[in-house]
Structure formats: C-alpha cells, structure tokens
Structure 1
Amino acid sequence: MFLTHLLFLILSSLQLVSAANRQYQLQLTTSDTTRVDPPDGFPGSRPFILTNGLFPGPLISAQKGDRLLINVANQITSPRIRRSATIAIHSTQHWHGIFQQRTSASDGTAEVTQCPISPFQSFEYQFETGQQSGYAYNFPTPLFERCSTSTSIEPIGTTVILAHNIVTDLYPKDPHASLYDVDDASTIITVGDWTHLPANEAFANKSILQPSPDSTLINGQGLYMGGPTKTSMIPVIGPVQYGKRYRFRIINVSCNSFFNISFDRHPMNVIEADGTEIVPRSVDALTIFPGQRYSVVIEANLNPVDPKNPGSYWFRTRPTPDIVNWNPSTADPAVNNAIFRYEGARNAVPLTTIAPTPTTVLREFDMVPLSNPAPPGGTGLPTKKITVPLRLNGTVWTVGNGSFFGTPVPVLMQILTGMIPAQQVLGDDNVVTIDYNQTIDLTLTNDCDTNQNTTPCDIADNHPIHLHGHEFAVIQAAGQSKPNYINPPRRDTVAVYNNDVIIRFNTLNPGPWIFHCHIDWHLSQGMALVFAEAPNRIISGPDSVILPPGWSNLCTIYNKLPPDEQ
C-alpha cells in the first residue's frame, strides 16, 4: 500500500484564451532538510513534506482545456517518512476534480493506476483539464491521498497541501461572475487537521475508531491547545476592502476531520459545490467533509470606521473530532479559527469569544445545480443497481463485502498487460467490473456500529465517499427522506451517515477508478474498492489510455528498492 497526494483543482472564471501546455516542476523534500517552522508552532515537531521548499505548496494555474505537464521529483530523505512517492515519499499525485478522460495513468492512485515514484526519481503527469468545473486540494494518505496511517504507508500527517490549483472556467463565462468582485489566490481557504507525529506513529493504535488531531490548520497555519497564542501566529483571511464581495473557495484537506464553517456577522452565499455551480443559497454555516469543496460569496459590508464594527471577526471551523484537549468554554478562541480582517481594522484580534448560534445551515439535499442536465437516465430505472454497505469488522473497514489493501501490480497495468484479472488477485469484492455506457445506481448504507448496526448512526459516524474519474448525481443525500430525480445535487464526494445515500453516474470514462472513504484512518484500514470501467476500451480504441513517458518504468524501479525505501 502506498502514499499518494491528492492535488485538487480549483476552477475559476476568466475570459476565453487559447488552450496551451502548462509545465510545472514540483520537488518534494522534507522540513528536516529545509528549515521550515512547524505549521502550528509545536516545538520539536515531526518532519513534514514540502513542495518546492514551501508549505503549503505553490499555486498551479491553468485555463480550462489546457494540457498540464507536471513533473514531480521525489527528493525525500527523512527516515521517519516513507520515501517512495506516489507523489511524495511513496508518492503519487491524484488530481481531484479532473476526470482524466484517456489519462487514467496520470490519476495518481498508487496500486490502482501506477507504482510509486521511488526516491531520487521523477515522473511527469500529463493530462488535460477538460471542460469540467471543479477545484481541489491535495492531501497525503494511504494508497492515494493524504496522511496514510497503515504501517506500510508513510503518512505525512495531515493537510499537506502540495499545491493549490486554479483552472479557469472559460466555456462559458462564469454565470455567477456578477455576484462577486474578487476571486484570486488570496481567496482560497484550506482547512485541515494536523498531528504532532507522523501519521503512522500517531495512529498506530488501530483499536480506536478515529484518533483526534492535535490542531486545526487554516491555509497551513494554526495553534494547538496549551501552546503560545501570539497574534502573529493566528491565521488571517484578508485583509478585505469594505464594500467589495469576495468569492472564497473553501477546501477540506483533512485526514479525518469535518468542519462546521462560519464567518462571524457575515452570512455566506453558497454558489458552488465540488465544481458544480448551484442556485445561490444564503446560510450562516455549512458542514464540509474531507475531500469536499465549496465556493461562498462574502460581502464585506461592515464599515470598519463605524465604532460598532471592530473590523476583525472570527472565521470559525469547529472541527469534529475535537482536537486534543479542546474545550469550547476554556479554549482560546484563536484555536481552530482564523481572523477575517478588514483593511483599516481597529482591532487586530476579534473581541468576541463565544460562537454565535447559526439560524440557517446548508443541507446537501437543498442544493440545486444552476444548470439542469437531469441525472443520468433521467427519472427512469438505472441499467444496474449496486448496494454497497460500509461496515467496520473488528479493526478493518469494508466497502461492500471486501477490504482493499492494494496489490503489487497496479490494476491498470494488469488490464493493459493481460495478466491475471485483478479480480483474481484482489477478489471480486475488491474490483467490480462495469460495462461501458451504463447508468449505475449505488446505494450506500452505513452500518456504523460494530455490533451489526444496533446503534443509530449520526453525523460523527460519517464516511465522505469519493469516486475517481466521475461526477455523480446525489439522488438521495444523508438526512433526505426520499429520492430526488429532478435536478439533484452533483458532486464527487458525498457524506454517508444517518440513512442510505444513493448516487448515480454514467460509465462513459473507461479506466480503473478507486471508490473510497476520504477519512484516511478508514482508508488505510481497507475502506475502498476499484471499479474497472469498460476494461476492453482501456486497452484499445478511441477511449484507450494514453500512457505518459516513464509510466511503465515506475514499477521496475520501485520493485528493486530495499524494503526500507518502499
């Protein structure tokens, strides 16, 4: 099982320009070889991964329809971090929000679409941004994401943002452009969790259902309980100008935590979720699960010159699970939060301590896409129905009837070389073959209790489920009493908790696509399966996969490594 980083693409709206090749170089090192302060100020903090010497990493930008050529060089040397990378140590790179038509080999999913990038080697990911909208973030985890927790996967911890990404939405111009004035790199907000040990050390006890992080990071910075709280250490959003409207792109890059997001005294106008524009909806708070993204418009309408307006307000995250030792009645309000600051603010730090009670909270099933293509298959029956129980079996999580712990030969390579079918290597419960041009309904059931569902699930028992290679229609969301076939929400990561969730998608993108829980603790304990979509079309024909140079050599080099470097 290998580590992968997820780099999620953020799509914004600009004027039409010609498509182009966009080339980037990403060099992965660690904080113990390049002196970088710990993100939450904890002394003697463990090593963490840097991209081009930065944490978070550099901004990657491209236009819609561009071709991205991103070369990743693995220079990780820390003995406490697994060194092979499907990107990073065992590093690969997953580009969340990019559906990888014909480029599944660049999806960045270790053991599914590639072998890891070995120490002191590099690999160039090649793919087009396509016409889809969406934006993303970037984590390390087992198999293919953020902070992997199994002993065979080197975790980087939490919220390791290799790069933010803006891919512009040019066709057509953003239909929400009239609702905001500012949308740039300064309005990207990442929220994530952080541990003071590498994840494989911090999460070594697999008998617990979910460990607690040590701190919350906002744009790569935060505070831990009991630590110093100098004003300079508190994350800041802004400064914003009075009278302007800001489109904030909020991204949950955590390994385990979900967040209840709010801006004190500023309602949020939600206009997009996971890259799909929605009918604007004004709320006081929203819940964002690992892997999800939202765009919200904040109107900076409180004049800092007015004595009633301090000019600084809390941007609150309220994580679940709580960070270690956190108590809302005694904690410094700067912990878990950032300062939302106006230009000319009279107060550097907000004066309020207790979070206001929200009156309107975004519910997933209340979101209505701005355009209405109708769900795949419309209101008709799907081609195929699949029920997928999500269960805990002792300390192992299952999706369907199996747990996915990877394979020495990536599933894509098995398909292309005609080796023993992946089902025979991993089992039918781990790899599900689906035919081309089918309408699939997946019913996700959350058997959250270890004693065969004797206790009702609640939101703390959530599983944010992500499907690579696809956007899907959320026919029935958590908390929704009946299916909705009339313009339901569309996204790529959906939370499953207190009732069955039904998603629907079309199989028009041949490739091996991982389907997994975005809580890394669960993922490292097997909570994934692979959909082998139209395998024959992956091999030949107009939908066949395009392999980047050096792809087949990744496994050759990796398999020759000594065990301590794998």
Structure 2
Amino acid sequence: MRHIRIALLYWTRLLLLLKQAPPLDYHILAPQSQIGQTMTIQPSLSYLLVLFLALAIHCVVAVRIEYTLAITTAELSPDCHPYRPPIPSTLLINGQFPGPVIRARRGDTLVVRVQNQIFSAENETVTMHYHGIRQRGTPLADGVPFLTQYSIPVGEEYVYEFDVKTQAGTYFYHSHVGMQSVSAFGALIIEDVSQYQYDEERIFLLGDWWHQDRHTQEAGIVSANWSWIGEPDSLLINGRTINNASFAGVKCGGYDVTAVEHGKVYRFRIVGAQTLETLAFGIVNHTFTIIEVDGQGIKPVVTDYLEIAPGQRYSVLFHANQTIDNYYIHTDVRWRAVHPKNGIAILHYNGANNAPKDIVPDPSQLPSFPRESAQWISAEFKPLDRASFAPYELDVKTPAREIILTTAHIMLPSGLSIWTINNVVFQQPEVPIILDILSGTRSTTPNYTAAAQENGYDKMRQTYPIRKGEYIDFVLQNTVILPDSCEAHPWHTHGHFHWEVAYGSGQYNPSVKPGDGNPNVTFVTDPIARDTSLVYPTSYAYFDTDNTENPADSSQVVPCGWKKIRIFADNPGVWLVHCHILAHMMMGMQIVLEEAVEDVVTTVKREGF
C-alpha cells in the first residue's frame, strides 16, 4: 500500500506540472520533406500513462546499492600550509578528502561496508554515522560507539545496512569517534522526483582545519591537564583553501573551483561538515533560493547568504545569470569572536578567464555578511508539503511532555573542563547499550513514570526513557560558557527529525503560553522538520557590550537563550541527542534516549540482525 500511495503522489504531482506546462515539442518520424521540423502537440493520455508507469515501477522496485569505505591515514595539507603532525592523523576515505559521494534514490537499500585500515601507532578505532538518516527499524546502523555498536578495530570491518524508504534530500556521513570527522566525512545524497526544475547540481562541503595534531587535541579536552582545541586555522570548501598569501602559489591545488554554464539553473547542496563554528556562505553578486533544509522541502526563500551550523544542510536553486567571469565564494565565522578570513573558493563561468585559484584575493573582493542576528531568517521557512509528515498530526498548540535540558560549563577540581546537562556528567557506557538490551543483560521494562517525575532522566539507566507514540518537547537551555560569553550550539537528534516549536531569550519559563504577548518568546505556528537546530545566544554574545553583569561573578549558571524542539517517538532504539560541536560533545554535551525499549528486540530481529 505504501508504494501505491507514493506512486499516486507522483502521479498527482505529474498532472499538476503538466497542467501548468506549455505544449511539448517533439522531433518525430515524418516524410522526407518534413525532417528536422518541430511539431507542437499536447501530451496524449497514453504518454502520461507511460510516465506514470515508469514512476510507479521506480517506487515499487527498490534497488540495493553497496559501497565500501576504506579508512586510512595520511599526511595532508589542504590549505597549502607546511604544518605536518608528528604522527599522520588525517583520515582519508577511499584515499579521498572529502570522502566519495554516496548516492541512492528514495526507496533504495544502502549497504555500506566500512573497513578500518588505520594501521598506525595510535591503533585507532572508527565508526560511521549517516547524519540525518533516521534509521527507522535499523538502530544498529546508526554508527554511535558504545550506544549502537563497538567501534571498528584496526583490520576489521562493519557492515551498515539501512533503507531510505521515506527520506530524500541532502545528508552526509562522518565518523563518530573523537575528532576524526574533521576529515572523515562525505556527502550522502538521496534523490527523488523534485517539483523544482534545474539543469544540474553541485555539492559544497564546508570544513575546518587546524595546524595541530588531532590526537593531542582529543587528549587535551578529556584529560585533567585540560586544554582547548583552539580556533581553526583555516576554513575549507570542498576540502581546500589557501591559509594565507604567504603560501599562495605553493603546489597544493589552491582554491576549489566550481564551474557553471551561463543561463543554467543549478541545485547547490551545501553541507555543514565543519566541526566547531557556524558559518555564513555567500557568492559575490549572486543570490540563493532555499528549497530544502536538512532533507525537508520548504517553500522557496530567497536570500543573499546562508547561515550553516555544524550538521545542517541546505539545497538552493542557483541561477547562473551574471556576466561570464570568476566570482569568489566565501565562508565566514558566525557567533564566535575569532574569524578566519580564508574560507574561499571560486565560482567559474565556462568561457571566462582561467580561475585565479592560486591567488589570495583582497578582502574587498569577497562577499560581506551582516552582523549576526538570532534565528537568522528561519522564521521564513515553511513546510513545502505537510502531508509528507504523515502519519504525524502536529498540533503545536497542544502541550507535549516536556523535558528541560540545561547545559552548564564547569571546571572540576581536577582541572578537567566539562559540560553537564541538568548537573549530570555524561558517562560513556562500557558495553553498547543496544547490545545489552539485545542480550537480555539490560532490562526492557524501564520505569517510564518514575523517569518522567525526574525531568525525564532515569538515574539507574543513565538515559532518558521515552514511550512509543509520545510527543516530547525538549527545551534546550543555553547558558554562558566560562568565563563570560554565550555561544551558539547546534543540537542534533539521532533517529528523528524534530520541529522547532518555540524559542526565546534568557531563561525558559514554562508558564508562558501562546497568546500571552510575551515579546521574549516566539511560538512557531507552522514549523519545518529538521534534524539539527541551532540554539542562539540571545545575550552575552561575543559582540554584546550592553550586558549588565559579569557572569563570571556568579556561582550560578547564567541563562542566555533557549529553543524548544518536539519529536515523535516512533522509532524503537537507543539514540543520541547532542551538540554537534565535536569538542562540546566530547566534553559531555550529550544525552541518550532509550525509546520504546520493550520493542527494540523485535525491531532488530525483524530487520534480520
């Protein structure tokens, strides 16, 4: 029945498109005197039926697509800088950085074989997470160490198998061990029939890069002799840039160049694969029309630039309609005080002079971006097709069960700097939780009622158990980071998309309701679904100068903005919810959901594990 519904949906959309389209031009067989002439005819019913059957066949016949990703290590200088770590710590996927593009179509089954070939003194393990893929019914394929699997040892492999029956859009895959995803990532594209017309597509993978040894960075943020990873030395676009003019001309590839043809319309897929900073993304003299956010279609929104947090993705329509020339692409840091200016690439119109990929431009040649503003233009995002969320009947006016997650940055007496959530320090399990459930070692009957009375947290299980079929509102309460500023935090929900149903400044107040007229609170009446949401600093941002108190003088956490996201518990499994700033996640900004635990065993067995 599901395939029939999808086919009918395609049929309906096809009829709407054809109804609005002009008559079609065909070159057909004709007498010799008429060869080469174009005849204008209306599409016949038989022609429409052929198209319908082709679409229906695609819906019914799912394809099994297999990939092998071999993880190795190498020395790399993507920004032309001569720094080399004492032990090669850059991970490559099939010898590439970024990794190869994984492609499938809606309805397909993906089989990804990940091989750990990191033969080095560090003896590193690895996993692979498919960011934004819900893994409905396949929780063992989520790629989170000690939640859904053991990390893959050197010389071994792990096979991830999952389908994409109900998803399409722009995703990506990345390692979920330590800071490996600084380089171990690649695009994951799920194709589908689009109601938007475009000629071709291009992919932009955003990244960040340090002139430091990754192993030293990882050790620094989890040890008593704590040290911060630092701000990135370079911002990368498709794995390349030039660190500064001193290294221009060095034979390292220079800037990434994306070629376009004048007059064509492109779908640009922009992936926030960076690991620390939110980025603005723009192209000189061009605009974007946003059509997709985190794999969900939205009604078109035109903008001069994008704001992309770690883990977020956008698709935009791009009209190559400017003078044939070369145009600079630029990324700049948002919501952090340090702004490397070297996130540069080049848009090259075919027919223009050679792209100046080895020449560092003057800053005046780059696109400029306005001062940061909380929520950016997200209020303009509206769902393209509410029916695509079926069977979810989202009523934002009806309260759901609420769980408040208050973050706090603290320094322990030992010298270790950590993030806590509701004063709880995250403890990594010794055995993957889902394997304990499958083996019978872990109870499948959590006390949901008792946990709900403790703001959702089960102290014995050290997780947040949620019942199947529940709507849950998570309030993500932002607080000032030591010593005195508030940062933006991108929160990612594994196993689910979520709806941003409300946000506000300062401290969350559960007594404020829609219609109260509180200017500090916004209730979203028609939210889009996404899987990574940015909680903005509404005070104490790095550029704020009008704060009335110094938060460092307070022994209490200082609130500085919040966002409420709603999920529907329809996916039995063990799922991570975390800040997608890697260092913050490693320092403890993460929780674990145990969802419909009583159904996990049957769910996994149904999938053949």
Taking the aligned partners of 1:376 and 1:211, their CA distance within structure 2 comes to: 44
Amino acid paired to 1:129: V
Measure how far apart 1:197 and its partner are.
2.8
- What SS does structure 2 have at the residue aligned with 1:220? coil
The aligned counterpart of 2:79 is 40
Q: TM-score, normalised by structure 2?
A: 0.73
Instruction: Show the counterpart of 1:472.
Output: 498
2:63 to 11, 17, 20: 20
The percent of aligned pairs where both chains have the same amino acid is 30
1:349-374 CA-partner distances (Å, limit 9, x unpaired):
39763244457995223211112258
Name the structure 2 match of 1:528. Answer: 590
- Residue 203 of structure 1: how far off its partner (Å): 5.4
Please state how far the C-alpha of 1:160 moved relative to its aligned partner.
2.7
Q: Go from structure 1 to structure 2 and tell me whether the alpha carbon gap of 1:428 and 1:223 turns closer, same or farther (over 3 Å shift).
A: farther
2:217 corresponds, among 197, 202, 205, to 202
Q: Can you list the C-alpha shifts for 1:123-163, whole angstroms capped at 9, x where unaligned?
A: 111111121223222334xxx25xx2xxxxxx3362432x3
Distance 1:323 1:338 in 2: 23
Letter in 2 for 1:493: T
1:562 match: none
Instruction: State the SS of the aligned residue for 2:584.
Output: helix
Cα distance change of structure 1 residues 125 and 204 upon mapping to structure 2, 3 Å threshold: closer
Q: Give the Cα separation in 2 of the matches to 1:327 and 1:409.
A: 40
Residue 209 of structure 1 and its aligned partner are, at CA, apart by 5.9
Equivalence for 1:392 = 409
Deviation string 1:519-555 (CA, Å, 9 cap, x unpaired) is 0110111111100000001122xx4455676xxxxxx
Q: Check if 1:91 corresponds to 2:126.
A: yes
Residue 408 (structure 1) aligned to one of 426, 430, 433:
430
Task: Give matches, 1:229-378, under 5 Å.
Answer: 229-230=248-249, 233-304=253-324, 311-320=325-334, 335-346=342-353, 348-349=355-356, 353-354=363-364, 355-358=366-369, 362-373=376-387, 377-378=394-395
Partner residue, 2:191: 168
Give the residue type in structure 1 aligned to 2:111: L
In the TM superposition, what is the alpha-carbon distance from 1:344 to its structure 2 partner? 1.4
Greater shift, 218-227 or 499-508, is seen at: 218-227
Contact 1:262 1:316 survives alignment (8 Å): yes
Establish whether residue 31 from structure 1 lines up as the match of residue 45 from structure 2: no
How far did 1:501 drift?
Answer: 0.1
Greater relative contact order (Cα < 8 A, sep 6+): 1
**1:376–1:504 Cα contact (<8 Å) kept:** no
> Which string of whole-angstrom CA distances, capped at 9 and with x for unpartnered residues, describes residues 83-136 of structure 1?
2xxxxxx21111112111110001111011000111111111111112122322
TM-score of the superposed pair, with normalisation by structure 1: 0.79
Which residue identity is paired with 1:523? M
Q: Give, in whole Å, the separation in 2 of the partners of 1:204 and 1:320.
A: 27
Comparing 379-388 with 417-426, greater Cα deviation is found at 417-426
Post-superposition Cα deviations, 1:502-531, rounded to whole Å, max 9, x if no partner, equal 111110111110000100110111111100
2:194 partner SS: coil
What amino acid is aligned across from residue 241 of structure 1 in structure 2? E
Larger Rg: 2
Is the CA contact 1:126–1:548 (under 8 Å) kept in the aligned structure 2? no
| Distance in 2 of aligned mates of 1:203 and 1:225 | 26
SS of 1:266's equivalent in the other structure is: coil
Could you tell me whether the CA contact under 8 Å between 1:124 and 1:548 is conserved in 2?
no
Q: Alignment length, in residue pairs?
A: 485
For residue 53 of structure 1, report the CA deviation from its aligned partner: 1.7
Residue number in structure 1 paired with 2:473: 441
Q: Deviations over 1:380-415 (max 9, x none)?
A: 434411111122122111233323231111110122
| Contact 2:207–2:273 (8 Å) recurs in 1 | yes
Q: Which has the higher helix share?
A: 2
Q: Which amino acid aligns with 1:471?
A: F
- Secondary structure in 2 aligned to 1:532? strand
Counterpart CA distance in 2 for 1:545 and 1:230 is 57
Residue 429 of structure 1: CA displacement?
8.3
TM-align CA RMSD: 3.0
1:144-155 alignment runs, 5 A limit = 144=176, 148=178, 155=179
Counterpart secondary structure, 2:435: helix
